[in-house]
A and B are shown apart, each in its own frame.
Chain A
Amino acid sequence: NAGVTQTPKFRVLKTGQSMTLLCAQDMNHEYMYWYRQDPGMGLRLIHYSVGEGTTAKGEVPDGYNVSRLKKQNFLLGLESAAPSQTSVYFCASSYQGVVNSPLHFGNGTRLTVT
């Protein structure tokens, strides 16, 4: 099993450009999450999904949109990138939610906005 796969691994954007980060999991997990990791800030939850067709806001959702059209995929979109969105983005999934089953993380996407 591949687990959680994120694409791309690296990306450089100019301010105002848009892009979509892709996350795919092959573990048949119901729950999926997007976190961002910044130096000295730990991991902060952007958006999450408790099942196909559902999404919900996390701690830092502004400037991002998400979609969960298929159970195995969770997409994170930046409509108009800003330098403050320079970060490492991690996708994660879990079988029954964070309390009942562990988070499985991908290896991250490093995004730089200039």
Chain B
Amino acid sequence: GENVEQHPSTLSVQEGDSAVIKCTYSDSASNYFPWYKQELGKGPQLIIDIRSNVGEKKDQRIAVTLNKTAKHFSLHITETQPEDSAVYFCAASTYSGGGADGLTFGKGTHLIIQP
């Protein structure tokens, strides 16, 4: 099955600086890569995603890049703000139809924004 590795487990940055979280996946058939943000006491929430036919996607201060050859993808947050403090999860899916479904998640990165 798919295996997703995520690094680092904890990341502390100064407010206003950039943060980068990296993930690698094992199954070359994976074709969908979402990122989820989890605030304390809540469930994860989708913040951005990318498909295997795209190399980069941006949404305001958040961007995701995908390198299919190396089988890794990264989340970039620019101009970090206190409200960016949370746990971030990457995930991968090898959905191929036929009723099978589900995501394989990384173990999470605790992002701390220092004032």
Stretch from A13-21, A65-73, A91-99 forming part of the interface with B: A91-99
Say yes or no: is B99 at the interface (Cβ < 8 Å to chain A).
Answer: yes
Residues B82-115 near A (CB distance < 8 A):
89, 93, 95, 99-108
Say yes or no: is A29 at the interface (Cβ < 8 Å to chain B).
Answer: no
Given known A-B contacts A4-B43, A50-B99, A103-B46, A98 and B107 have beta carbons under 8 A apart: no
A45: which of B31, B46, B103 is its contact (CB, 8 Å)? B103
**CA A103 – CA B93 in complex, angstroms?**
12
B41: which of A31, A54, A98, A107 is its contact (CB, 8 Å)? A107
Q: Closest Cβ of chain B: how far from A55's Cβ, in Å?
A: 11
B104 contacts across to A, CB distance below 8 A:
45, 59
Interface string of A66-104 (1 = CB under 8 A from B): 000000000000000000000000101000011100110
> Is B105 touching A103 in the complex (CB atoms < 8 A)?
no
**CA A32 – CA B104 in complex, angstroms?**
15
**CA A51 – CA B31 in complex, angstroms?**
23
> Is A98 touching B43 in the complex (CB atoms < 8 A)?
no
B101: which of A41, A44, A98, A108 is its contact (CB, 8 Å)? A98
Given known A-B contacts A98-B95, A99-B31, A99-B32, A43 and B44 have beta carbons under 8 A apart: yes
B residues near A (Cβ < 8 Å) are 1, 4, 6, 9, 31-32, 34, 36, 41-46, 49, 89, 93, 95, 99-108
6 sample A-B contacts, Cβ–Cβ < 8 Å, listed by A number: A42-B105, A48-B102, A50-B101, A59-B104, A98-B95, A102-B49
A residues near B (Cβ < 8 Å) are 4, 31, 33, 40-45, 48, 50, 54, 56, 58-59, 90, 92, 97-99, 102-103, 105-108
